[in-house]
Structure 1
Amino acid sequence: MEKEQELEWGEAQKIVISEDLVEAAKKQLNFLATVDRHRCLYDGPVLLRAIYRYNTYWLPLLAKHSMSEIAEGPLVVPLDCEWIWHCHRLNPLRYKADCQEFYGRILDNKNVVSTIQGESTRQTEEIWKRLYPEEPFELDLSSISSDGDSVNIMTEGSKYDFVAAVRRQSPFFYQVSKLFMNDNLFLEEAAARYKGFLHMIKRNKERSIRRFCVPTYDIDLMWHTHQLHPVSYCKNLVVTLGKVLEHDDMDSDRAKGQKLDVGFSGTTMQWEDTFGTRYWRAGGMYRGVAPSPITDIPLLASIKSKALVSSTVSQSILQLSKTTVVEVLLEIVGVRNLPDGHNGSLSVFFSKKKPDAFFDERKRLSILSESKEKQVASFQCEPTGELFFELVCQMPSTLRISRPDKVMGTTSIALQNILDPVSKLSIEKWLELVPSSGPLDSKPICLRIAVSVTPPAPAPHVLHMVRSRPSLKSACFLPLPGSIQLGKSWTSLIDEAGNEIINIQTRNSKKAVGNNGKPKKEIIGIIGWSDEARILAEFSETGWSLKGSEWSSQLWKKSIEGGHIFELRGDRVVQLFPGRKLEYEPKNCQRQKNEQDFITAIEFSNEFPYGKAVALLNLKCGVLKVEEEWFALSAITLAIILSDILRKEGNSVSIANIENLKMVDSNEDAYDIEGKSGKATNLENKELAAKISVAVAEKGEAGDKIKNVASGGTMVKGGGCGGGCGGSCGNMVRSGGCGGCGGSGCGNMAKSSGCGSGCGGSGCGNMVKSGGCGGCGGGGCSGSCGNMVKSGGCGGGGCSGSCGNMVKSGGCGGGGCSGSCGNSAVSTN
């Protein structure tokens, strides 16, 4: 059967396409992006005027050009006319009929180029002006404000409903706008799959099978590209199918049981039966409805044209790790060679063999051949390492106590193998399992696993904010969220790998400002391990301003205009909006009541006139997701400023609360963790602390769970606190947590094992990429453990005294320290 499926695929690849679909698809994507920057072409008076110009001017000009080549070089089509022409050609039967009715032949795009390709328009403009002296070649899209004249000037021509056609085609760009859509390997495979799609339709015609075939979006992109070459499309399809294939885009209802749903299910089954591979493709599936647009966009006419200094400053100062991410689709298709008489239901657990910044879970999938139910996992991960699979036999519930679930075998797939050009971004094959037990000479169990990935794309920078508490001898951290006192303390920004990016402090300058002689408030930053302090922002009588950049000095807007709370101006505009907007907008099933915890930074520029989300701030959890490196330093500074403004008003960032905020320069004392000075904060309030003892953060934005135990800190993918901490625990990022500290708690832990069975003394210091404290002598560490950076931590023997600071060290061994351990640096003890 597999041999027959390979032959079918080989037959499909023999279909002749006259055009280079890969290069043509890239041009189409560029064109669609340009149209999307002029959304007035989607609806209203500009659209009506464009339809009029297309029928009255462009098609007659194109007909003359196709007859006698009235231009020596290529004919250049105006943007508005090209958009209507684009939508007209995507109904190939109607376009063919209209062209033959009015011009006697199909008007092709041969020797015609788009204005966005950078070709000289001088020759075409001269011809246009000679033929249409009263109509400008380029339509001024901003000059049409009333549709009265446009409605009255509609003339004879095609009676096709162009307005409805444009409405159907407008959402298409969102579905194909991901960066990897321009990747050669992705597009080459999409072109091959388009041939497979046509081959299935050919087989249906030969067998008199009536089926509404529905393409995935990678195939649909190629189908659209082919149709934009109308003469080639008609000739190729007549040869392949004996007729011109209709492109039916009238249905948009994706509800279960409707035409699209039934058609897609039938197409999937036919594809998998015909070719023996999965029909779905990572990056080619429906992305959902496009996010809600920003309704009040800023005017861009006054934006400066010179380069933004903060762009280069941010990239040269901050040492941000450059990571990439891939989208993955995974299905467990079948299992074979199961042992005789095995009892229980089978499933497969999958995970990454090594920790991954984006996928650090163990998930379960059913097996299609066993459950008869199709389950496809969709997730993102780094394009490195291996996907690890465990075949598990789950016993019936009545036997589960006496006979627990059994791992029958394991296998893995290296992601690099899937990304190899030979694999064409997908793998589907039988893999032998390494048995967990049993005789090795028996026939190995095999799993048929199908995996598809997208080409790697730049990943956002995810930074965690943690704050030092200088009142402790061994510096610990307090979570930044909630009500925050920033004076005389440091806030550290740590990336997903546990690297310290920048330390920031809000301090009072020695310089007095204003008539009252109050000292000026400043935000200063120290990059990594550098000793050089930079002033990032200053507070004056008019508000906060960023330094060392081209941003305008006034950041805070007292009146809420268009819903944004901050505005930055340079050669582009960046506005901050409460909640998750644009690319960050949650889908219906993901909507939460905690939208007020988020702030979205949106860039407006000539390239993105309707906005592009460049950062997402979660001030409650102290997490920053930065999409653009040039905005990283500004995003960090703004997060500190907003935290400073909001600290007296609780942790809500809703518009209602922001309108009531006051810009005041506070000179209060720094927060003392024992409550001896300064005002009480939300975390000090016992009643509130009880209410937030267990809080769940939005998955994917701030980790899996955030748990506060007593005065415990923020834990992102951490093990939590064990038997009880007599004091406070700091922030834990992907760490083992505290096993139970009887003393003053533990400091920050980033990618560390955490504290073991307990530290009886004053707790543990900061641990970054360290083994943490082990089971310290049963009674824990009667003293305290210092800071550990890339160290082995304290071993099982326990430290009856205290441990010093350990940097890149092996830590304390299993024998324990009867006294105290000193400082260790790059050692093995």
Structure 2
Amino acid sequence: MECEKQQELECIEAQKIAVSVDLVAAAKRQLEFLAAIDKNRWLYQGPALQWAIYRYNACWLPLLAKHSKSEISEGPLVVPLDCEWIWHCHRLNPVQYKSDCEELYGEILDNSNVLTSCQGFCKRKTEEIWNRMYPEEPYDLDITGALSEDMFKKLSELKKYTKYDLVSAVERQSPFFFQVSRPHIKNDIFLKEALARYKGFLYLIKKNIEKSTKRFCVPTYDVDLIWHTHQLHPASYCKDLNEILGKVLEHDDMDSDRTKGKKLDLGFSGTTKQWEETFGTRYWKAGAMYRGNAPSPLSDIPKITSKKVTASGECEKTLKLPKVKVVEVFLEIVAVKNLPEEQTGNLFVSFSKTQPDLFFNAKQKLTILSDCGKKQVASFQCEPTGELLFELLSYPSSKLPVTRAPKMMGATSLSLQDFLEPVTKLAEEKWFELLHTSSNVITKPIFLRIAVSFTVPTLAPHVLHMVDSRPLSKGSCFFPLPGRFRHAKSWTRVVDESCGKVISLQMRVPSKSKERNNCISRKQVFGITKSGEAHTLAEFVGTGWSLMDSHWCLQLQKNSAEDGHLFELIGNRMVKIFVGRKLDYESNHGEKQGSEKDFMTAVEFSAEFPYGKAVALLNIKSGCVRVKEEWFVLPGILSAFILSDILKKKGYDGWSMDAGNLNTDRVVENANGFHEEGKQNMLTSSVESEAESKVNMTTRNALMPDIGMLSSAGCGGCGGGCGKMVNGGGCGSGCGSGCGSGCGKMVNGGGCGSGCGSGCGSGCGKMVNGGGCGSGCGSGCGSGCGKMVNGGGCGSGCGSGCGKMVNGGGCGSGCGKMVKGGS
């Protein structure tokens, strides 16, 4: 109790730290600026970067120094975008920036009378001053191709300016935007909590200085964003930090090696330990941890369309889809107190939702830090509704196999609505009193200390499944095996994650009689919505497909495109379709979830996203369509349906990753109505014929939560999608999905195994985990065709189309994402 009071006092002292800048408002401006730079990635490297550095040193800093002394403009200056980017990176080494400014100009050049160019301020007056001072150098950077001899000569004169390696500084700062570019980061409450945590971060450093403790303190990314924002105001930063710490705090961004045991990993572990001992709260925070490496770019050349994009309500008019919100949750059971003296056995906490939802609908287990001495953090997604239910359970301590159910010692709950509807607070850590289910007299109530944090609720992507609804055998799959004739009367039913029908689609093929009479009708995609409305949704028009009354046109890229896309979907937006998982869907850490040739990524290109924004992932093999944007739901469904028809060739088991190897003529021929064979392995369901519409679909999906166990020492993961798991040794969890009898079965052996199974039909997706910490994942279709992985010790495995898993104490290899701090 005395310790907790001291921690509360430390929290109060930390918040007394004063800063002379509105860092919340300034952080929002920084995020806007970084987004603008990310649309101009030519400033990340190459000739444009070299020339921007020259302009910054030779033009911007002298102009700023002159304005600082005599205010050469009546109003504030507006800095050119390229110069602002170099200035941004220079200021993020505050000690070096201060030294350079004082050496070259006798004072720190501040930003107090400067506006950013990306917020639309009038730059006319600044441009006039610039043109008078530098008549041969335009205000806006305009560089294409290689540097001229004159440019090289000017660059050679840079040595008389700063000695700081600005190229390397830009290289280090370029990946930062990816870490802070998620929608929840801009939320006022998230940023206000980030500011409070930044003050706590400075307080720890102050304590270390006072105690002469050498520790490399590593921020989480919310703290790092505020720290960067503070440094971008160099005069205020130097003043504030001298008052707080007695010196200007360096920002060491030189280390990026996150390997266990290296400086960054040890620094983050040490900072976590110090934070939690000092303040009694968790250092990790949902939405503030390392996301992994930024995805690979599709092209170094931006694709900008000048066409004005207008919102289309065609999808909403045709499909009535519910808007579901989702949050990311981090959860840790910190401690338990007032246990009965007679208590023996192993304790753990089971947590679940009182209102299971699409993302989280199963019980999971967590150990208790104070009881077992091992940090275990659960990361999962759920809807921001209902309550989280916690049950304290006890297993016998005997090493013999457990043969009876654990003893329930009490339960408590936490309401998600209290935090998230509306958003009032994004983190909580406190003692919860347990309610007892037994009639036994308890002398002291038992308490659990629970730490939880959330991201701001955002709209969840739509996950839709295509189900072939003609009469099939029990072992049949979502789509028919390529090569099996697809009956003209067959339908494909599109269902959502709850198995609710969204729309039914049918490919209409011209009859042979019409072919003989040389009067072939155009091939069409016909659809019936769940309300019974019938629509002709797509029509083959010779060189491509016209979708949704000509709102969109789907065309094959006949010549091998520079960026490798195979299809284009053109309408009021420009969407290119690439083979494989790209951008946000890119496979990380060498994980395998089926062959890349089974996937296609739809990427939107626009003035806002010149380098592309992933809007949907199409799994042609399994018939799963993941759509991020509402406007793309119907075009995405139709594209997946048509592409699956186009690409199913005789003997086809995927298509060549080289667009140049795709036979264009054969694809167009197939678009005119050929259906041939190949081999597939898919998530499946047993359904009745759409033609016999009175019979309802019997699909069942055993959906499991997107769950991750974050292990200690900065290791762990945050999931996106279905069933991701990162297990810190000792606690298992599982995920199964599928349809039909006996699918997604899972058997866990002794120890704490974990697993994931999916499939359809009788007995598919079975999995058995061995003793110790083995894990496995299987998916398939047909009777008995699931994959099985047995692990002894800490083995792990994953089959096609199933959840991601990394097992073992510390960090297993595979798809788990490390959870560490920022630079």
- TM-score (ref. length: structure 1): 0.78
CA 118–565 in structure 1, closer or farther in 2 if over 3 Å, else same: same
Which residue is equivalent to 2:264? 260
Alignment of 1:548-567 (within 5 A): 548-552=549-553, 554-555=555-556, 557=558, 559=560, 561-567=562-568
Please give the alpha-carbon distance, in whole angstroms, between the structure 1 residues aligned to 2:517 and 2:64: 72
Equivalent residue for 2:769?
none
Q: Is the 8 A contact 2:465 2:495 kept in 1?
A: yes
1:308/1:570 contact within 8 Å kept: no
In the alignment, structure 1 residue 199 sits paired with structure 2 residue 199: no
Residue 720 of structure 1 and its aligned partner are, at CA, apart by: 4.5
Q: Which of 76, 79, 87 in structure 1 is aligned with 2:78?
A: 76
Pairwise CA distance, 1:225? 0.3
Shift of 1:324: 1.3
Distance in 1, Cα, partners of 2:519 & 2:444: 85
1:723-775 Cα deviation digits (max 9, x unpaired): 9xxxxxxxxxx9999999xxxxxxxxxxxxxxxxxxxxxxxxxxxxxxxxxxx
Structure 2 match to 1:223 = 227
Q: What's the secondary structure of 2:388's corresponding residue?
A: strand
Change (3 A) 1:43 1:739: closer
TM-superposed CA distance for 1:426, in Å, is 0.8
SS at match of 1:64: helix
2:737 matched residue in structure 1: 717
Higher normalized contact order (CA 8 Å, seq sep 6+, divided by chain length): 2
Say if 1:464 and 1:622, in contact at 8 Å, map to a contact too. yes
Look up the match of 1:21.
23
Match of 2:124 in 1: 122
Contact in 1 for aligned 2:303/2:611 (Cα 8 Å): no
Give per-residue Cα distances to partners, 1:196-225, cap 9 Å, x unaligned: 111111111112111111110000000000
Q: Deviations over 1:323-373 (max 9, x none)?
A: 111111111101112222333221222222222212233222211111111
Mapped pair 1:292 → 2:293:
no
For the 8 Å contact 1:308–1:550, the answer to whether it is kept is no
User: 1:501–1:528: 8 Å Cα contact kept in structure 2?
Assistant: yes
**Residues 666 and 626 of structure 1: CA distance in aligned 2, closer, same or farther (over 3 Å):** closer
Displacement after TM superposition at 1:430 (Å)? 1.2
After superposition, the Cα gap between the structure-2 partners of 1:9 and 1:298, relative to the gap in structure 1 and judged at 3 Å, is closer
Amino acid at match of 1:465: M
Out of 130, 133, 140, the residue aligned to residue 131 of structure 1 is 133
Aligned equivalents of 1:636, 1:396: Cα separation in 2: 53
Q: CA deviation at 1:666?
A: 7.2
Query: 1:298 and 1:573 mapped to 2: Cα distance?
Result: 13
| Aligned residue among 106, 109, 123 for 1:107 | 109
- Bigger CA drift: 390-399 or 242-251? 390-399
Work out whether residues 509 and 673 of structure 2, in 8 Å CA contact, stay in contact via their aligned partners in 1.
no
Checking the alignment, whether the CA contact within 8 Å between 1:283 and 1:327 is kept in structure 2 is yes
Structure 1 residue 441 displacement after superposition? 3.5
Paired residue type of 2:363: R
CA 1:299/1:12 → structure 2, altered by over 3 Å: closer, same or farther? closer
* Structure 2 residue matching 1:31: 3-state secondary structure: helix
**Which secondary structure does the structure 2 equivalent of 1:47 belong to?**
helix
Counterparts in 2 of 1:559 and 1:49: CA distance versus 1, 3 Å? closer
Q: Which residue of 2 aligns with 1:392?
A: 393
Does the CA contact (< 8 Å) of 1:308 and 1:549 recur in 2? no
Aligned length: 698
- How far, CA to CA, are the matches of 1:296 and 1:88 in structure 2? 24
RMSD across aligned C-alpha pairs, in angstroms? Answer: 3.4
- Any conservation in 2 of the 1:48–1:147 contact (CA below 8 Å)? no
State the distance in 2 between where 1:717 and 1:702 align.
13
Give SS of 1:434's match.
coil
Match of 1:164 in 2: 168
Q: Which residue of 1 aligns with 2:605?
A: 604
Contact 1:598 / 1:617 at 8 angstroms: preserved in 2? yes
User: d(CA) in 1 for partners of 2:104 and 2:408?
Assistant: 70
Structure 2 gap ranges (5+) = 687-700, 707-719, 725-734, 744-756, 764-823
Match for residue 730 of structure 1?
none
Q: Name which of structure 1's ranges 657-666 and 389-398 shifts more when overlaid on structure 2.
A: 657-666
Change (3 A) 1:547 1:240: same
Give the distance between the partners of 1:546 and 1:298, measured in 2 at CA.
27
1:587 aligns with 2:588: yes
Structure 1: distance between partners of 2:200 and 2:105: 34
Mapping 1:345-364, distance limit 5 Å: 345-364=346-365
> Displacement of 1:5 after TM fit?
1.2
Give the drift of 1:545.
3.3
- Cα pair 1:537 1:547 within 8 Å, conserved: yes
- The answer to whether structure 1 residue 210 and structure 2 residue 230 are counterparts is no
Please give the alpha-carbon distance, in whole angstroms, between the structure 2 residues aligned to 1:482 and 1:698.
27
Q: Per the alignment, do residues 48 and 298 of structure 1 end up closer, same or farther by CA in structure 2, a change over 3 Å counting?
A: closer
1:233 is matched with which residue: 231, 237, 241? 237
The answer to whether structure 1 residue 64 and structure 2 residue 71 are counterparts is: no
The one-letter code sitting in structure 2 at the alignment partner of 1:225 is T
Deviation track 1:369-423 (CA, whole Å, cap 9, x = no partner) reads 1111111111111111111222222234644345443333222211122337796
Structure 2 counterpart of 1:294, one-letter code: L
Cα 1:532–1:404 change in 2 (3 A) is closer
What's the secondary structure of 1:599's corresponding residue?
strand
Partner of 1:645: 646
Match in the other structure for 1:659? 662
1:326 lines up with 2:327 in the alignment:
yes
Match of 1:247 in 2: 251
3-state SS, counterpart of residue 19 of structure 2? coil
**How has the CA–CA distance of structure 1 residues 405 and 285 changed in structure 2, closer, same or farther, with 3 Å as cutoff?**
same
Residues 704 and 723 of structure 2 are in contact (CA less than 8 Å); yes or no, is this contact kept in structure 1? yes
Deviations 1:204-254 (A, max 9, x none): 111211111111000000000000001111111111111111111111111
Quick one: distance in 2 between partners of 1:429 and 1:488? 60
* Structure 1 match to 2:419: 418
Residue 497 (structure 1) shift: 3.5
**Post-superposition CA distance 1:171-202 (Å, at most 9, x none):** 10010000011100000110111111111111
Give the Cα–Cα distance (whole angstroms) in 1 for the partners of residues 260 and 151 of structure 2. 40
2:276 maps to which of 272, 276, 285: 272
Shift in Å at residue 516 of structure 1?
Answer: 4.0
Change (3 A) 1:374 1:654: farther
Contact 1:536–1:548 (8 Å) recurs in 2: yes
Change (3 A) 1:33 1:665: same
Identical aligned pairs, as a percentage?
55
Separation (CA, whole Å) in 2 of partners of 1:149 and 1:122: 28
d(CA) in 2 for partners of 1:241, 1:16: 12
Deviation by residue 1:577-635 (Cα, 9 ceiling, x = unmatched): 22211111122153334333221111111111111110011222221110011111110
Distance in 2 (alpha carbons) for counterparts of 1:33 and 1:682: 44
- Cα deviation code 1:770-794 (max 9, x no counterpart): xxxxxxxxxxxxxxxxxxxxxxxxx
Q: Structure 1 residues 462 and 201 mapped into 2: Cα distance closer, same or farther (>3 Å)?
A: same
Aligned counterpart, 2:51: 49
Letter in 2 for 1:248: D
- Which secondary structure does the structure 1 equivalent of 2:555 belong to? coil
In the aligned structure 1, how far is the partner of 2:669 from the partner of 2:740? Answer: 37
Change (3 A) 1:568 1:12: same
Distance of aligned partners of 1:482 and 1:508 in 2 relative to their CA distance in 1, 3 Å threshold: closer
1:177 aligns with 2:181: yes
Q: Which residue in the other structure is 1:692 paired with?
A: none
From 188, 194, 197, the counterpart of 2:192: 188
